A and B are shown apart, each in its own frame.
Chain A
Amino acid sequence: MASLIGHYSLIFGLFLSILIIFFSIKNFRNSLIFDNKIISFSFLQLFFVILSFIGLIISFVNSDFSNETVFNHSHTTKPLFYKISGTWGNHEGSLLLWLMVLTLFLFLFLLKSKQQNKKYRILTLLFQQIIIIGFFIFILKTSNPFNYIYPIPSEGLGLNPILQDPALAIHPPILYLGYVGSSIIFSSTLSAMTLNYISQKWASHIKGWILISWIFLTIGILLGSIWAYYELGWGGFWFWDPVENVSLMPWLALTTLLHCILILEKRLILKSWVIILSISTFSLSMCGTFLVRSGILNSVHTFANDPGRGFFILIFLFCLIFLSLFIFFFFHQTNDKKNYEFFWLSKETAILINNWFMMYFLAVILIGTTYPIFLEVINANKISVGPPFYNKLMTPFLIPFLFVMAIGPKLKWIKSDIKNKLNLILFLILSILLSAFIIKNLSVSFLINTILVSSGLYLFLITLKDFISKSFANLSQNLAHFGFSLLILSILLNNIFSKEIITNMKVGETFVSEKIQINFDSLVKKNIKNYDALIGKFEIENENGEFDILNPELRIYNQPNVVTSEADIKTDIFTDKFITMNLVQNQEYFNIRYQIKPFMVWIWFSVILISLGGFISLLKRKYEN
């Protein structure tokens, strides 16, 4: 029943799209004021898509196995929470979520843009409807979440156990708010370009939307990273896996756009650059969906997939890019050269320099992610590109990037000179000395690490000084930059100070090295609703005589029959102690991995600070209006 309602709501939704397009074209031509009927129809469309989504959730909650999606991804013994989150833990459901966010953003846009020009609003709506129709057809044709199976199976296949996790339950919706949020930026940029509506007022209006999707994207990536850290048991937070890369690429483009829109808002220059960035942000989001869904990527967390789907998205993506390029070349009017003056030393130059750095990072990631695909097509060689590639190409450029990030905000618009030169130089010397002092006694390469740490520290100190001297004029920027410096420093120190021990142990054995002693004390078995847990007890004593007890778990799920490891992590302010235990088939030995990971909490915290910076900027806009 619920699936039936869901299915028909989708068809109604698609039908409404056509109605909306019809009325908006009529309204666009004939009348001076915006027809409120369109808003009502958009609301109705949103309502139907939500209804359809709720229909799917209800099917999941009731374990209605006549629905193919539910059959493939659910099971009666699964806890209620994961039945619900299973709704978007699969391909069909997650696309429905995409669609829901698309319509939601369109509706919010119509509500929030009342002061804008009528034609601009309608045209944005039209562009957004093109995307929405594309997704409606995509869902109905290739990945309908409401397919029937007959005869009705009595039990489902179950959700992949590693997805049964609170962080991963909320990770997709938040990430999608960020991903899909860029669609409204895309549509409104196309519309503003067509109508030659790009102005300072437009820049400040679109900035709000950029901020919103940027905040969600940042937090979405953070959640995914936290999940990978404790659930996959690799003890890292970023693996340069293609699936991670495709979320980082739109983030980089969006961050660049966020900075560039400031220049447009202040000086009305770089219009074309803003347009290109808006288009590429959304294209990269779509590309990400394509790469993850099509299965052409060789990723460790590939979804079950189907080339037909990838093909559809690819075609759709090409159409959108073609459309936007067409508009860009034929409608876009370049600047009257009125205020086209650029001086070397100014805020906009600094922003622009870092724009280019970010584009370089983006290019590296894009090439690293897609190169294996091309190579396989060209000469059938199967390859993969590992973390060393990214580290080698990106780390050196992080140094000037961080310096410009520290000095840039100190400059004025248009033309500037450096004030407080002495201060800046003093801080530079201080940070170099400090980092040399930190690195000196360690067994890592001195020069590169010192330079890296000192550039991070430089940004850290300069932003910190602004907090202390209470110059809150630009709190949001300062906070975000401070967060970024903290992120870089934590990652660096985490890399330098991490330690790990991997060994195979039987119950009752003790691993002894000069620095640490690990005792595998006991193994307890527990029955929990949809899995059996084997809980190990490990006593760990380090060289200072500190004593920890950690209890990693092995979970043997009933359906699907899969073993997962649950890491046990003991977190304090400065270090995480991380242990995982893996089963080796039919053997008495367990594979044990013990890691000491310093500053993990700081990595998470700094990303929260970065997004908090965006949030404050958003609040400030609201307050000023």
Chain B
Amino acid sequence: MYGRKVKLRFFFVFLIFIILSLSVFLIIKSLEDNVIYFKSPSDLKTAAEIEKKKIRIGGMVKIESILIKEKEVKFIVTDYKNEINVIYSGVIPNLFAEGKGVVAEGFLKDENLFLATKILAKHDENYMPPEVKKALEGK
């Protein structure tokens, strides 16, 4: 019926198709598992249930809220409407300060407590993370 060459070519096209769809599937699948959503304190207050996955929160560090101990730092993140307590142990970037914007990554313990695993450093003192800006402006 068909020559060997045609069959081979058909096989090739089929193989490439399979590989392509497989890799797209793989990528999309792991995107779902690995993306980290960003929430503002108000988002967390209005949420129906407590998020189990790793998330990022952002807002302003409330004035006079930083409390540091040997093992951990406690502070409050606010978007001037709602606030949330954060407990963190790890590297603290130099630009982390009261009254400045902050983005923290970690897990929500309960409605009022966030256990941070990372505080993201920003390199420019004028720079405000877009999410924080939006979180402060909007809502």
Contact = CB atoms under 8 A, between A and B. Distances in A.
A516 interface: no
A561 interface: yes
A560 B126 CA distance: 10
A582 B125 contact: no
B31 A368 contact: yes
Contacts of A381: 37-38
B130 interface: yes
A585 B66 contact: yes
A591 B92 contact: yes
A162 B125 CA distance: 11
Contact of A504 (B68, B93, B125): B68
Interface in B90-114: 90-98
Contacts of B89: 502
A386 B34 contact: yes
Q: Is the interface of A mostly helix, strand, loop or mixed?
A: mixed
B31 A385 contact: yes
Interface string A360-392: 100110011001100100000111111011001
A503 interface: yes
Contacts, number: 115
A30 interface: no
Contact of B91 (A234, A372, A585): A234
Given A160-B124, A386-B36, A503-B71, A393 B94 contact: no
A302 B124 contact: yes
B82 interface: no
A385 B94 contact: no
B120 A363 contact: no
Given A300-B120, A504-B73, A584-B73, A591 B91 contact: yes
Nearest to A298: B130
A587 interface: yes
Nearest to B70: A504
Interface string B113-125: 0000000111111
A391 to B, nearest CB: 9
A206 interface: no
Contacts of A407: none
A594 to B, nearest CB: 11
A290 B44 CA distance: 34
Interface string A139-159: 000000000000000000000
A233 interface: yes
A304 interface: yes
A375 B19 CA distance: 25
B69 interface: yes
B56 interface: yes
A14 B27 CA distance: 44
Q: What band does the interface of chain A fall in when counting residues whose beta carbon is under 8 Å from B?
A: 35 or more
Interface string B1-45: 000000000000000000100010011001101111110000000
A367 B121 contact: no
B36 A383 contact: yes
A606 interface: no
Interface string B56-94: 100000000010111111000000000000000111111
Contact of B38 (A364, A382, A583): A382
Interface in A199-241: 232-234
A565 interface: yes
Nearest to A388: B34
Interface in A318-336: none
A85 B91 CA distance: 30
A54 interface: no
A356 to B, nearest CB: 8
B127 A562 contact: no
Contacts of B36: 383-386
Given A363-B23, A503-B71, A504-B70, A582 B122 contact: no
A39 interface: no
Contact of A585 (B96, B120, B121): B96
Nearest to B27: A367
Nearest to A554: B94
Nearest to B32: A389
A586 B64 CA distance: 10
Contacts of A375: 35
A300 B123 contact: yes
A564 interface: yes
A231 to B, nearest CB: 10
Nearest to B134: A382
A505 interface: yes
B38 A589 contact: no
A386 B122 CA distance: 16
A134 B84 CA distance: 49
Contacts of B71: 503-504
A564 B19 CA distance: 47
Given A232-B121, A385-B35, 15 more contacts: A300-B121, A371-B35, A383-B37, A385-B31, A385-B34, A385-B36, A389-B31, A389-B33, A502-B90, A504-B73, A562-B95, A582-B91, A584-B68, A585-B98, A591-B92
14 contacts: A233-B91, A295-B130, A300-B123, A304-B127, A372-B35, A382-B38, A384-B38, A389-B34, A389-B35, A393-B27, A554-B94, A560-B126, A562-B125, A564-B94
Interface of A: 160, 162, 232-234, 295, 298, 300-302, 304, 356, 360, 363-364, 367-368, 371-372, 375, 381-386, 388-389, 392-393, 502-505, 554, 560-565, 580, 582-587, 589, 591, 593
Closest 5 CB pairs of A and B: A389-B34, A382-B38, A591-B92, A563-B94, A585-B97
